[in-house]
Structure 1
């Protein structure tokens, strides 16, 4: 911990030394094409100790990271897909190997299985940002060339995380919203549900039941 504190002290001091002098007076209106606009309000400067404390808090794994670390291990995934509302369900299976990386600050999962008769491989990351108090998840696989990114928060009452993002429809090239709900059912069971939008209406497009080996 002493080494970590020293590292962030150096970062904070470098940040201070490189930062330009900040003005604290009230913003003065400017005229642009005859229309008055105000300069952006500048932030009050922090002393080096306060900055170092903030950086250390930002970089130190928290209770949220402990929640992520509880999932380290191998999981069997029973996957169900729907291509349209009330459509026929399609099944697939995969195995997820989950680990924590970069000093317990991020969760990384590797998926392998079979989908639509083809070998399936995917990777996801999960991060909890101590500063914004939000989760961010990313996902890539061998079934496409895009990255899915979603953000959201965890609800302790429902033991679930709701994350929202956008994905590009490869058919028309347009961005469409999607929503993911990740639920901690019990210590050895997780449920992930994904909701897509088609013709302006949301529908459940995927459900994965994960069981820890």
Structure 2
């Protein structure tokens, strides 16, 4: 019985540690409330037809394919899930990204997975509202070398029914564009 009593006393003494000040509570509330950056992402919700150009070698013509993407805001409008289906170099392609705006970091954050590899690509970046361009940078493991490979993605909001995605990688110390996707809202 003494142990139970002492356990209850210890528990009650630690409760004030768990409580938060009004300022801390407001910070948490602000962190979980969608804002203008989240509305920007939500403007691209829906179904999209995509024309994909991919360059394995920048001196050669692009491999061109068609794809389909579904964007939907999740988690109370804090994140956008994008599901991609298509074909890449004759192989069925599936990919998924989660992108959001981290209110605490004041940065867009993104992850990407697909069936062409077993790693997860992480990126973060900023949106330029004047140019309507979201630029993300990050890295992924190159399976051929086992080393991190720098990646830059540029998403240009053209209008409500179109946006363009470009991806750049480092090759021999130079930035090269290895992918371009033009999205058109499905009718």
**Do these two structures clear the TM 0.5 threshold for a shared fold by scoring above it?**
yes
Task: Establish whether residue 152 from structure 1 lines up as the match of residue 157 from structure 2.
Answer: no
Higher alpha-carbon deviation: 181-190 or 81-90? 81-90
Query: Residue in 2 aligned with 1:136?
Result: 109
1:19-38 superposed matches below 5 A: none
1:44-123 equivalences in 2 (<5 Å): 48-123=21-96
TM-score by length of 2: 0.88
CA-atom RMSD in angstroms: 1.7
- State the match for 2:157 in structure 1: 184
- How far does the alpha carbon of each residue in 1:132-183 deviate from its partner, in whole angstroms, 9 at most, with x for none? 1100111111111111111000001110011100111111111121111111
Q: Which has the higher contact order (CA 8 A, sep 6+)?
A: 2
Unaligned runs of 5+ in 1: 1-13, 20-46
- What are the ranges of 5 or more consecutive residues in structure 2 without an aligned counterpart? 1-13
The runs of 4+ residues in structure 1 deviating greater than 4 Å are none
Secondary structure at 2:31 match in 1: helix
Any idea what the Cα deviations from partners look like across 1:45-75, whole Å, max 9, x if unmatched? Answer: xx71111111111111111111111111100
Q: State the TM-score, normalized to the length of structure 1.
A: 0.77
Q: How many residues align?
A: 173
Looking at structure 1, the residues matched to 28 and 144 of structure 2 have their Cα atoms a distance apart, in angstroms, of 44
Secondary structure (helix, strand or coil) at the match of 1:51 reads helix
TM-aligned CA deviation for residue 85 of structure 1: 2.8
What secondary structure, in the 3-state scheme, does the structure 2 residue paired with 1:203 have? Answer: strand
